[in-house]
Amino acid sequence: MDFDALAYPEVVFIEGQEYKAQRNMSKGQVLVPYTETPDVGIGDVITQKSGKREIHLKVLDVQFLEGGTLNIGTNHPHMLTLHVENSTSQPHKTSSSSNTTFNIGSISGEQLQVGNNNTQSVTINVQKLVEEVARSNDPEAKSLLKQLLENSTVGSVIGAGASALISML
């Protein structure tokens, strides 16, 4: 009777060598009984045979345990525990944005934005806008702002102060 086939139903390839194994997907773990130490380390990719296809598993951690099987379910005395990540499934997973926290000592300034996917609202006083444009000596900006302030709709919103603002330009 082939004990390995019952207790270790999966087939994995490590450096081209075939091994019987047991994969626990919820723990991200592959158990491989062995007699001679497999050549595997962190960062290696092992392959699990899955029907006619293959699943590539990236090794994140490795533990070799001599005598670890206690010869239960296998004729191999030692146990290799691999902590793996399924790299075949990575392109098919929905990406989620990660929340990264940055500790910033002190920040000062106007209109400052820190973070991902933020929006920034700017509130500016119309008088301040006119004063800054008047100081800029930019004839195009002055002309455009003057046209805006002379517009009847804008004038009705601003009120009587519109003419005073136009005189600043």
pLDDT averaged per 10 residues in sequence order, the chain, 169 residues:
70 93 92 93 92 91 90 89 87 67 68 65 75 86 85 77 70
Cβ 20 vs Cβ 11: under 8 Å? yes
d(CA 158, CA 154): 6
* Main-chain phi, psi angles of 78, to 5 degrees: -105, 160
pTM beyond 0.75, yes or no? no
Question: Tokens at residue 73, please?
Answer: 């379910």
Closest CA to 96 of 126, 125, 114, 117: 117
**Residue 129 has what pLDDT?**
83
**Residue 32 has what pLDDT?**
94
Read off the CATH number of the domain in which 56 is found. Answer: 2.40.10
**Residue 3 has what pLDDT?**
54
Owning domain of residue 27: 3-89
2: enclosing H helix or E strand: none
**Residue 113 has what pLDDT?**
64
**Residue 148 has what pLDDT?**
85
Q: Quick check: is 80 in a domain?
A: yes
Q: Quick check: is 155 in a domain?
A: yes
Structural domain total, the chain: 2
